[in-house]
């Protein structure tokens, strides 16, 4: 029983001793925390110098004192027997001392540091070099003195030949190595090597790469890129290409090359694999400017339709059928050109053009909504008065509406052709002579109207050919497609057999006359054959006529020799597959001599 009462004493002793140890350790740690509350913990070094136990300011002063001594010492470097001093004394903050001290102080103050002490692992901090302006300026001066930049291969056009100049390696200051040596010196005091460190500078464009591009350019030289839109044709020549490309190093970064002609050379990646052969890459901004010059020939604004009918005059006073706007798609065109330049064979490119429809549709109660026929003739070489008369007669039929089932008469519509109705004198053939008379040139309008009737498939009621072949009417046309008029006896007539009205629009553009018919198409299609010329007879000898209005000694040709001939052509008009008109037109032309007027007027 006594033995059982004595057992608690050893138990209390066993519990007390561990508690005492824990308390002692905690007390020691608390004391440690109090001692180093404003000091840097032990085992911490900056640039190899122990700063444990120091306040941040003491640590900064200690490191700064050592660094200042090194900063005040000038360093001498050499390169190819040249001296290059480096003065670091003006660099007040060349090393990040303050940041290094703050980092050192943060150990143990930002986390439970005693556990780091137990690891007994020194913490080493190094200052890093910050490039202040003075040091940068000194490096720039040295670089300008010793750098020998690499020379890129260049491609130039000399005449029609593509020439390649070789590339060359260069040698430049190795700034990273130089700064690393300076930084190590300020940290450890170890003197850097006297000889300035340099490295080889590789050309961005090698001679071999330039030769590859030359092959591509030679291909363009032999076969320029042909760009087309309808009847417009443009050529992207070697000279054009030289003006719009640059040389590029690998991985697509642009390089400025001091030469008149620049190219774009690039390596490309395909599925993360670099292709060794360079490809020609056009500067897209320059290509865009090139295409913008082409766009000026293609682009046109939208034309909204216009229709105004004057019921009192029975004429359409304002008419415009409306037309799509056109815009060259420069982005698509650029893509197609880029593709063509890298192809094995350069192919013709049809330029992509976007069409923009009018916002409004042509609407009226008369069914005037579409072009159903057009006639064209040319009158290059006409005297001014003849051109004036053509325009005046064309204006007299412009805007005329022909109701369905009605017959149009040229002489009734145009009326009297004389000075009283505004016409001027121009050369006409009268009584077998070429003379000046009122209205010369009006037959150009009736001839063009005849051609519009033929092409629209409307029936011709009355047509008379000229007595001889007129050179104006065969400009860009075969013979036999003319119609003469002589007010009031000789007329040209046709009928509107469509279900709607037909509107005549006539206008002059340059030395060409246009007559357009607008209405509602009923599906008819007109086919006009080529002219057949038979029984050709040569023209008579030239005729010279005195003209008292011309100065003496002046000779002026007013008519050109024309062979006599029989000319015929046919026209077939179909609708829904059925022939509705099948007819022939015949013209018997007498031969006509060249006519010259000889001036007799006294000077």
With residues binned 3-state (H G I as helix, E B as strand, rest as coil), the percentages for the chain, rounded to 5, are 30, 35, 35
Q: How far is CA 570 from CA 447, 566, 584, in A?
A: 17, 14, 4
475 pLDDT above the threshold of 50: yes
Under the banding of pLDDT at 50, 70 and 90, the label for residue 590 is very high
C-beta of residue 237 within 8 angstroms of C-beta of residue 224: yes
DSSP annotation string for 137-183? HHHHHHHHHH-B--B--EEEEETTEEEEEPPB-EEEE-HHHHHHHHH
CB atoms closer than 10 angstroms to residue 421: 15
Q: Which of 135-139, 292-296, 407-411, 460-464 has the lowest mean pLDDT?
A: 135-139
C-beta of residue 201 within 8 angstroms of C-beta of residue 150: yes
Q: How far is CA 479 from CA 202, 439, 533, in A?
A: 73, 23, 8
Q: Mean pLDDT for the chain?
A: 82
Rounded Cα distance, 338 and 572, in Å: 48
DSSP annotation string for 531-586? PEEEEEEPPPPPEEEEEEEEETT-EEEEE--B-EEEEEEEEEEEETTEEEEEEEEE
Report the pLDDT value the prediction gives residue 280, as an integer from 0 to 100: 58
Would you state the structure tokens that stand for residue 313, as one six-digit string? Answer: 């005059």
Q: Cα 128 from chain centroid? A: 50
Rounded Cα distance, 215 and 205, in Å: 15
Under the banding of pLDDT at 50, 70 and 90, the label for residue 506 is very high
Q: Cα 89 from chain centroid? A: 56
Element (H, E) at 108: none
Sign of the torsion angle spanned by Cα atoms 240, 243, 244, 247: positive
Report the pLDDT value the prediction gives residue 274, as an integer from 0 to 100: 37
- For the segment 366-372, the average pLDDT, to the nearest whole number, is 88
258 pLDDT above the threshold of 50: no
Rounded Cα distance, 394 and 437, in Å: 18
C-beta of residue 391 within 8 angstroms of C-beta of residue 508: yes
Report the pLDDT value the prediction gives residue 44, as an integer from 0 to 100: 82
β-pair type (532-537, 407-409): unpaired
Q: Which of 100-114, 154-168, 201-215 has the lowest mean pLDDT?
A: 100-114
CATH number, domain 208-356: 3.10.20.800
Element (H, E) at 255: none
474 pLDDT above the threshold of 90: yes
248 pLDDT above the threshold of 70: no
More confident site: 420 or 322: 420
Rounded Cα distance, 212 and 218, in Å: 10
More confident site: 515 or 218: 515
Rounded Cα distance, 216 and 223, in Å: 11
Let me know how long the chain is: 603
Q: Which of 112-121, 214-223, 356-365 has the lowest mean pLDDT?
A: 112-121
Report the pLDDT value the prediction gives residue 320, as an integer from 0 to 100: 80
For 128-140, the pLDDT digits (tens) are 666 567 778 888 8
Report the pLDDT value the prediction gives residue 501, as an integer from 0 to 100: 92
Q: Which of 335-349, 546-560, 580-594 has the lowest mean pLDDT?
A: 335-349
Beta bridge pairs of residue 437? 426
Report the pLDDT value the prediction gives residue 273, as an integer from 0 to 100: 32
Rounded Cα distance, 167 and 204, in Å: 9
Report the pLDDT value the prediction gives residue 126, as an integer from 0 to 100: 65
For 371-400, the pLDDT digits (tens) are 999 999 999 999 999 999 999 999 999 989
DSSP annotation string for 307-347? EEEETTTTEEEEEE--B-EEEE-HHHHHHHHHHHHTSSS--
For 292-336, the pLDDT digits (tens) are 999 999 999 988 888 887 777 777 888 888 889 999 999 999 999
Tell me which residue of 407, 375, 310 sits closest to 517, measured CA to CA. 375
Beta bridge pairs of residue 151? 168
Phi, psi torsion values for 473, nearest 5 degrees: -80, -10
C-beta of residue 411 within 8 angstroms of C-beta of residue 485: yes
Rounded Cα distance, 393 and 439, in Å: 9
Rounded Cα distance, 454 and 429, in Å: 26
Would you state the structure tokens that stand for residue 242, as one six-digit string? Answer: 């030289």
| Percent above pLDDT 90 for the chain | 39
Under the banding of pLDDT at 50, 70 and 90, the label for residue 12 is low
164: left (phi over 0), alpha (psi -120 to 50) or beta: beta
Report the pLDDT value the prediction gives residue 125, as an integer from 0 to 100: 61
- For the segment 65-94, the average pLDDT, to the nearest whole number, is 78
Domain ranges (residues) in the chain: 37-199, 208-356, 370-601
On the CB side of 97, CA atoms within 13 Å amount to: 21
Rounded Cα distance, 264 and 217, in Å: 12
Rounded Cα distance, 589 and 531, in Å: 13
249 pLDDT above the threshold of 70: no
More confident site: 370 or 379: 379
- For the segment 60-83, the average pLDDT, to the nearest whole number, is 82
Tell me which residue of 88, 66, 48 sits closest to 179, measured CA to CA. 88
Report the pLDDT value the prediction gives residue 256, as an integer from 0 to 100: 29
The one-character DSSP state at 44 is E
Under the banding of pLDDT at 50, 70 and 90, the label for residue 240 is confident
Rounded Cα distance, 155 and 192, in Å: 43
50: left (phi over 0), alpha (psi -120 to 50) or beta: beta
Report the pLDDT value the prediction gives residue 119, as an integer from 0 to 100: 45
Peptide bond before 488: cis, by omega within 30 degrees of 0?
yes
Rounded Cα distance, 287 and 293, in Å: 10
Most confident residue range from 53-62, 107-116, 283-292, 401-410? 401-410
Report the pLDDT value the prediction gives residue 29, as an integer from 0 to 100: 64
- For the segment 521-527, the average pLDDT, to the nearest whole number, is 96
CB atoms closer than 10 angstroms to residue 476: 9
413: left (phi over 0), alpha (psi -120 to 50) or beta: alpha
Tell me which residue of 157, 146, 164, 147 sits closest to 213, measured CA to CA. 164
Sign of the torsion angle spanned by Cα atoms 76, 77, 81, 82: negative
Which strand ranges, in their side-by-side order, compose the sheet holding 555-559? 543-551, 595-601, 555-559
The verdict on pTM exceeding 0.85 is: no
Instruction: Give the three-class secondary structure for 11.
Output: helix
Q: Terminal CA-to-CA distance of the chain, rounded, Å?
A: 172
Burial of 156 (0-12, 13-18, 19+ CB in 10 A): middle
Beta bridge pairs of residue 432? none
228 pLDDT above the threshold of 50: yes
Rounded Cα distance, 30 and 42, in Å: 16
């Amino acid at each position: 029983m006594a033995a059982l009462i004595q057992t608690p004493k050893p138990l209390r002793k066993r519990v007390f001793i561990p508690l005492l140890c824990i308390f002692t350790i905690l007390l020691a740690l608390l004391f440690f925390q109090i001692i180093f509350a404003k000091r840097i913990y032990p085992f911490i070094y900056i640039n190899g110098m122990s700063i444990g136990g120091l306040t941040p300011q003491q640590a900064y002063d200690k490191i700064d004192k050592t660094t200042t001594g090194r900063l005040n010492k000038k360093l001498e470097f050499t390169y190819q027997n040249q001296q290059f001093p480096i003065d670091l004394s003006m660099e007040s903050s060349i090393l990040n001392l303050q940041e290094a001290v703050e980092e050192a102080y943060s150990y143990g103050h930002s986390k439970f540091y005693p556990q780091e002490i137990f690891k007994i692992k020194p913490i080493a901090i190094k200052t890093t070099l910050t490039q202040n302006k003075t040091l940068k300026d000194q490096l720039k001066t040295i670089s300008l003195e010793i750098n020998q930049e690499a020379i890129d291969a260049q491609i130039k056009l000399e005449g029609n030949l593509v020439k390649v100049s070789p590339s060359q390696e260069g040698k430049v200051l190795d700034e990273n190595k130089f700064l690393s040596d300076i930084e190590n010196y300020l940290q450890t005091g170890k003197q850097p090597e006297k000889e300035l460190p340099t490295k080889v500078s590789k050309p961005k464009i090698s001679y071999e790469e330039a030769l590859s591009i030359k092959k591509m350019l030679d291909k363009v030289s032999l076969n320029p890129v042909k760009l087309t839109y309808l009847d417009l044709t443009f050529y992207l020549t070697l000279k054009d290409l030289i003006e719009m490309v640059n040389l590029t190093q690998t991985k697509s970064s642009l390089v400025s090359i001091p030469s008149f002609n620049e190219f774009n050379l690039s390596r490309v990646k395909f599925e993360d694999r670099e292709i060794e052969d360079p490809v020609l890459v056009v500067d897209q901004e320059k290509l865009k400017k090139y295409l913008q010059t082409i766009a000026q020939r293609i682009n046109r604004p939208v034309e909204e339709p216009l229709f105004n009918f004057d019921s009192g005059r029975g004429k359409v006073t304002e008419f415009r059928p409306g037309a799509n706007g056109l815009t060259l798609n420069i982005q698509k065109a650029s893509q197609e050109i880029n593709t063509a330049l890298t192809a094995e064979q350069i192919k013709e490119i049809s330029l992509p053009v976007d069409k923009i429809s009018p916002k409004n549709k042509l609407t009226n109660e008369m069914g005037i909504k579409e072009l159903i026929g057009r006639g064209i003739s040319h009158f290059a070489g006409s005297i001014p008065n003849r051109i004036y008369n053509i325009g005046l007669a064309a204006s007299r039929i412009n805007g005329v509406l022909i109701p369905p089932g009605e017959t149009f008469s040229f002489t009734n519509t145009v009326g009297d052709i004389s000075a009283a109705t505004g016409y001027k004198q121009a050369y006409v053939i009268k009584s077998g002579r070429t003379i000046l008379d009122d209205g010369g040139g009006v037959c150009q309008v009736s001839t063009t109207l005849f051609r519009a009737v033929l092409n629209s498939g409307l029936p011709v009621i009355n047509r008379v050919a000229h007595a001889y072949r007129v050179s104006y009417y065969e400009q860009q046309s075969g013979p036999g497609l003319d119609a003469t008029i002589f007010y009031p006896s000789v007329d040209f007539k046709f009928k509107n057999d469509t279900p709607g009205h037909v509107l005549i629009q006539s206008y002059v553009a340059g030395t060409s006359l246009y007559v357009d018919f607008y209405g509602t198409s009923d599906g008819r299609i007109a086919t006009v054959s080529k002219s057949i010329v038979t029984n050709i007879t040569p023209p008579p000898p030239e005729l010279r006529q005195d003209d008292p209005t011309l100065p003496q000694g002046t000779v002026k040709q007013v008519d050109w020799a024309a062979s006599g001939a029989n000319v015929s052509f046919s026209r077939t008009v179909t609708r829904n597959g059925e022939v509705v008109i099948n007819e022939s037109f015949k013209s018997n032309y007498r031969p006509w001599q060249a006519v010259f007027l000889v001036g007799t007027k006294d000077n």
